[in-house]
Amino acid sequence: MQGIRVPRESPAGWLIDAPAKVNVCLDVLPKRPDGFHGIRTLLCPVRLCDTLVVRPGPADTGTIKVSVRALNGSVNAAAVPTDDNNLVSRALRAVFDQVGRKPDCRVTINKRIPAQAGLGGGSSDAAAAIVAANHIWRLGLTDSEMLSVAAQVGSDVPGQLSGRANLCEGRGELVTPAAVPAGLPCVIAKPRAGLSTAEVFRRCSPSAEPAGESATGRVAMLLQALQAGSWRKLPGLVTNQLQAAAMELCDELRRLAAAFSQLPFVAHQMTGSGSAYFGLCRNHHQAKQAAAWLRARQAAWVVATCTT
């Protein structure tokens, strides 16, 4: 898998970063026979990340202990499960089941990515756990096998295995690398309120547009505009079909979007199913200024970052 991350060894244990993501475009397609909506999304990781510390135990006892440490005020560590409801725990059990072994490890998730934000923190943590386990225990899983394990854990996990930009289709498990330039400045903000992904999807109106050349062409145009810095083309190409439904559910999100509209972003929209919102900037100075303006005027968590 091109560009896949490798954990690094330290006195505290094996460390691996789990980047947040923004959805630069997100189309929702009609429900599939399995009951899931189809999606088409350009998923871009950013420098904001959680960091997992993985410490292997002395024996294969089947024990996984997960703890969570909040590294900023946007994260409520007490609200993050530490049992098998945590995606990291589920990912580790799935990857060891794949090879017929029992894990024995402790994992500390150092959280910087807020939950219920559409930033993919939990899914990215799970993807990082799969990559770390394969490397640390020398399990020998191929890229396709890791993708298969990731799809079992959650729809958003396969697209975050590589830590690079991807076009994700199907339920999110069909992953194609996308050449999004690293270092594109952006600002991400989140209101205090979170949103339920399931509720946002229930309220959204799926696209009637069939997958095919027109859809592929729009994504290609978006990628070309990002690569060339054709900022004037981006507002019509940066879209999120879940945004209208999310705004019906969250007044704070509407107010945040209105605040973004007062600033000279190249393009801006909600990421994922919300409630985080992001804007692309022409340069890092503009991103820092916009973030400072939003912090001063909005009761929201704000960060200036960039694509990786």
Known binding residue 214? Answer is: no
* Mean pLDDT, rounded, for 244-252: 96
Q: What is the pLDDT of residues 255-305, one digit of tens each?
A: 999 999 999 999 999 999 999 999 999 999 999 999 999 999 866 799 999
Whose CA is closest to 157, among 63, 245, 224, 94?
Answer: 94
Please report, in angstroms and rounded to a whole number, the separation of the first and last CA atoms in the chain. Answer: 16
| Range scoring the smallest mean pLDDT among 146-155, 177-186, 201-210, 222-231 | 201-210
Mean pLDDT across the chain? 92
Q: What is the pLDDT of residues 61-83, one digit of tens each?
A: 889 999 999 998 888 888 899 99
Q: Could you tell me where the DSSP H helices lie in the chain?
A: 87-99, 121-136, 143-153, 197-203, 213-228, 243-249, 251-261, 284-297
Q: What is the pLDDT of residues 32-53, one digit of tens each?
A: 888 788 999 999 999 999 999 9
Are 128 and 137 contacting, i.e. CB atoms less than 8 angstroms apart?
no
Q: For residue 212, what pLDDT is reported?
A: 52
Q: For residue 218, what pLDDT is reported?
A: 87
110's enclosing H/E stretch is strand 104-111
| Range scoring the smallest mean pLDDT among 124-128, 218-222, 279-283, 295-299 | 295-299
Asked whether residue 5 carries a pLDDT value surpassing 80, the answer given is no
Q: Name 69's Cβ contacts closer than 8 Å, sequence gap at least 6.
A: 77, 108, 109, 110, 111
Candidate list 17, 21, 27, 50, residue with the active-site label = 21
* pTM score of the predicted model: 0.94
Known binding residue 212? Answer is: no
Q: Give all domains of the chain, ordered by start, each with its CATH number.
A: 8-177 (3.30.230.10), 185-306 (3.30.70.890)
Better pLDDT: 148 or 78: 148
**pLDDT confidence tier of residue 2, bands split at 50, 70 and 90:** very low
Candidate list 50, 125, 156, 190, residue with the active-site label = 156
Residue 234 is given by DSSP the state G
Known binding residue 118? Answer is: yes
Q: Is 60 among the catalytic positions?
A: no
* Secondary structure class of 267 (helix, strand, coil): strand
Residue 7 is given by DSSP the state -
Known binding residue 206? Answer is: no
* Mean pLDDT, rounded, for 139-145: 95
Q: Is 251 among the catalytic positions?
A: no
Q: For residue 66, what pLDDT is reported?
A: 97
Known binding residue 114? Answer is: yes
Rounded to whole angstroms, how far apart are CA atoms 73 and 78? 12
Known binding residue 100? Answer is: no
| Range scoring the smallest mean pLDDT among 29-33, 52-56, 103-107, 268-272 | 29-33
